[in-house]
């Protein structure tokens, strides 16, 4: 199957015990490599890693998310909380129901809805609680994921479809309600930097003999300034050789989101740390991580378009960007604490109709995975912002760690 030298080169990058991509996937990845090489040539020999990551994930028709390669779930590349357990989305729905209570015609906007699982479970629970939003908007960049979401919602909550709308861009009219984003911040393209003899260098992507390679070059001015600010916050310089990421899109992205929320709450759920932990000396190789068929590794230059590329989230940067955009930081907590505070155990108890049954044991196991510190409970965090919204959120009733930011 891997007949051409270029296809062989691509396949040779895969470790021996990894499953091979099929012929169509190899062809699509090679086309993407060609486009990336053209962008590298047009830029004079190298593109920033953020541009590379954008192309690898979102290049129309070929990127990991935009080309249909993204595979969620057990047989795919990774599993997210909504796929792991319906209790995740149902607990979130309890929090949403509180927030929507005082609003006449609330709207929920979900960013990057993946398979549509969270939307389906959340809407079903809100229907049970009689707190349905007047509209559920989904902003999704990937055409293939949008189709998957439509299929999921059609199958799971057909009666609610008239309320659901897919958007290509943020709504023009500000609304009252909620914005939800699970594992979306980690997919925003990042720049990579390295400290060398007190200088800030950028790790860019170039090419050599038809292969994508790393190129170190002086960091552009805005990245220099961003790293200087990080070091100032940390109270001293990062050590020599230190390599990490910075997300330049975060601030403008949150500012445009803030503009569409007239009144209400935004919830961001993702893996990440407050700044002092994110840029901890021990994390000297950064937090970039790639997922290919449940193999997590750190080489984003292999298999473009066939693997997910993500970076952990600097939640201090998210808090700063949100408050700079005029939002109020309402809370910050590890996912485990947030879910327990929002009533996860009550839902578990209700769902365990036959204690000891296989179904009940499975649910209990899911709750452990969502909440235990060694699983998703501590690595994942929940951050909430509000606008013109005073009520305390039940998710932060057990823990609110804004002081760590
Ligand atoms: C890791 S997946 C998470 C999917 C889903 N929320 C879940 O938890 O299963 C990332 C999702 O974010 C979407 N995405 C990435 N950047 C986005 C952006 N700027 N706006 C909206 N969606 C985005 C991707 O297309 C994908 O659906």
* E-assigned strand segments in 121-167: 135-139, 164-167
Asked if 244 contacts 227 with a C-beta cutoff of 8 angstroms, the reply is: no
Q: Which atom of ligand 1 is nearest to the CA of 58?
A: 25
Q: What does residue 160 show for φ and ψ, rounded to 5 degrees?
A: -100, -5
Element (H, E) at 276: helix 275-278
pLDDT score, position 178: 98
The per-residue pLDDT for range 14-29, each reduced to its tens digit, is 777 888 888 899 999 9
Q: What is the total count of domains within the chain?
A: 1
Asked if 100 contacts 106 with a C-beta cutoff of 8 angstroms, the reply is: yes
Percent of the chain with pLDDT over 90: 87
- Report the phi/psi class of residue 362: left, alpha or beta, with left for phi > 0 and alpha for psi in -120 to 50: alpha
CB atoms inside a 10 Å sphere around CB 254: 24
Q: What CA–CA distance (Å, rounded) separates 108 from 257?
A: 13
pLDDT score, position 2: 56
3-state secondary structure of 72: strand
Percent of the chain with pLDDT over 70: 99
Give the residues across from 263 on adjacent strands: 176
Q: In this structure, is residue 383 part of a structural domain?
A: yes
- Residue 89's domain spans which residues? 81-171+264-270+326-404
- Quickly state the pLDDT bin for 102 (edges 50, 70, 90): confident
Asked if 219 contacts 243 with a C-beta cutoff of 8 angstroms, the reply is: no
Q: Assign residue 334 the CATH number of its domain.
A: 3.40.50.12710
Q: Is 112 in the pocket of ligand 1 (CB under 6 A)?
A: yes
Region of poorest pLDDT, from 67-71, 190-194, 363-367: 67-71
Q: In this structure, is residue 148 part of a structural domain?
A: yes
Average pLDDT value for the chain: 95
Output the CA torsion 184→189→190→191 (10° steps). 180
Determine the residue of 86, 112, 186 to mutate for testing ligand 1's pocket, defined as the one with the most ligand atoms within 8 A of the Cβ atom.
112
- Quickly state the pLDDT bin for 397 (edges 50, 70, 90): very high
Q: Is 141 in the pocket of ligand 1 (CB under 6 A)?
A: yes
- Quickly state the pLDDT bin for 69 (edges 50, 70, 90): confident
Going from the Cα of 357 to the center of ligand 1, the distance in angstroms, rounded, reads: 35
Q: In this structure, is residue 398 part of a structural domain?
A: yes
At residue 276's C-alpha, the angle toward residues 319 and 296, to 5°, is 90
Q: In this structure, is residue 400 part of a structural domain?
A: yes
Predicted TM-score (pTM) of the model is: 0.96
The per-residue pLDDT for range 45-66, each reduced to its tens digit, is 999 999 999 999 999 999 999 8
Q: What does residue 29 show for φ and ψ, rounded to 5 degrees?
A: -65, -40
Q: In this structure, is residue 154 part of a structural domain?
A: yes
The per-residue pLDDT for range 293-304, each reduced to its tens digit, is 888 999 999 999
Q: In this structure, is residue 100 part of a structural domain?
A: yes
Asked if 59 contacts 51 with a C-beta cutoff of 8 angstroms, the reply is: no
Going from the Cα of 224 to the center of ligand 1, the distance in angstroms, rounded, reads: 28
Q: Mean pLDDT across the stretch 131-159?
A: 96
Residue nearest ligand 1's atom 11 by CA: 112
* E-assigned strand segments in 88-197: 107-111, 135-139, 164-167, 175-182, 191-196
Q: In this structure, is residue 296 part of a structural domain?
A: no
Q: Mean pLDDT across the stretch 320-332?
A: 98
Q: Mean pLDDT across the stretch 150-166?
A: 98
Report the candidate in 308, 270, 272, 278 with the shortest Cα–Cα distance to residue 290.
308
pLDDT score, position 114: 95
Report the candidate in 171, 138, 135 with the shortest Cα–Cα distance to residue 258.
171
The per-residue pLDDT for range 272-281, each reduced to its tens digit, is 999 999 999 9
Q: Which atom of ligand 1 is nearest to the CA of 249?
A: 19
Q: In this structure, is residue 128 part of a structural domain?
A: yes
The per-residue pLDDT for range 205-242, each reduced to its tens digit, is 999 998 999 999 999 999 999 999 999 999 999 999 99
- Quickly state the pLDDT bin for 74 (edges 50, 70, 90): confident
Determine the residue of 54, 69, 89, 187 to mutate for testing ligand 1's pocket, defined as the one with the most ligand atoms within 8 A of the Cβ atom.
187
pLDDT score, position 332: 98
């Amino acid at each position: 199957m891997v007949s051409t030298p270029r296809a062989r080169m691509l396949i040779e990058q895969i470790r021996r015990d990894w499953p091979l991509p099929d012929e169509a996937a190899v062809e699509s990845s090679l086309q993407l490599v060609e486009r990336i090489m053209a962008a590298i040539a047009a830029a004079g020999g190298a593109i920033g890693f953020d541009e590379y990551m954008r192309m690898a994930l979102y290049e129309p028709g070929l990127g990991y998310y935009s080309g249909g390669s993204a595979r969620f779930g057990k047989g795919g590349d990774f599993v997210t909380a909504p796929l792991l357990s319906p209790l995740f989305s149902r607990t979130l729905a309890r929090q949403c129901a509180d927030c929507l209570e005082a609003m006449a015609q609330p709207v929920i906007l979900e960013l990057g809805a993946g398979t549509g699982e969270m939307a389906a479970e959340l809407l079903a629970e809100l229907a049970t609680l009689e707190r349905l939003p007047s509209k559920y908007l989904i902003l999704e960049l990937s055409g293939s994921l949008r189709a998957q979401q439509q299929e999921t919602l059609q199958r799971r909550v057909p009666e609610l479809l008239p309320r659901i709308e897919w958007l290509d861009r943020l709504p023009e009219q500000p609304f009252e309600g909620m914005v939800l984003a699970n594992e979306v911040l980690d997919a925003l393209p990042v720049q990579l930097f390295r400290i060398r003899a007190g200088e800030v260098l950028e790790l860019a992507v170039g090419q050599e003999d038809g292969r994508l390679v790393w190129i170190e070059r002086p960091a552009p001015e805005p990245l220099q300034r961003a790293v200087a600010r990080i070091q100032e916050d940390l109270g001293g310089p990062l050590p020599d050789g230190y390599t990490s990421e910075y997300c330049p899109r975060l601030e403008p992205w949150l500012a445009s989101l803030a503009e569409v929320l007239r009144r209400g709450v935004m919830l961001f759920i993702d893996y990440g740390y407050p700044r002092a932990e994110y840029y901890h000396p021990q994390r000297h190789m950064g937090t970039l991580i790639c997922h290919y068929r449940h193999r997590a590794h750190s080489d984003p230059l292999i298999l473009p378009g066939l693997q997910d590329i993500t970076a952990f989230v600097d939640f201090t940067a998210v808090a700063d960007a949100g408050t700079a955009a005029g939002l109020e930081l309402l809370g910050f907590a590890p996912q485990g604490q947030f879910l327990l505070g929002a009533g996860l155990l009550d839902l578990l108890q209700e769902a365990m109709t036959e204690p000891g049954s296989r179904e009940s044991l499975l649910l209990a196991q899911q709750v452990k995975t969502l909440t235990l510190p060694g699983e998703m409970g501590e690595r994942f965090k929940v951050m909430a912002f509000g606008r013109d919204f005073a009520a305390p959120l039940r998710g932060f009733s057990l823990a609110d760690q804004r002081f760590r930011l």
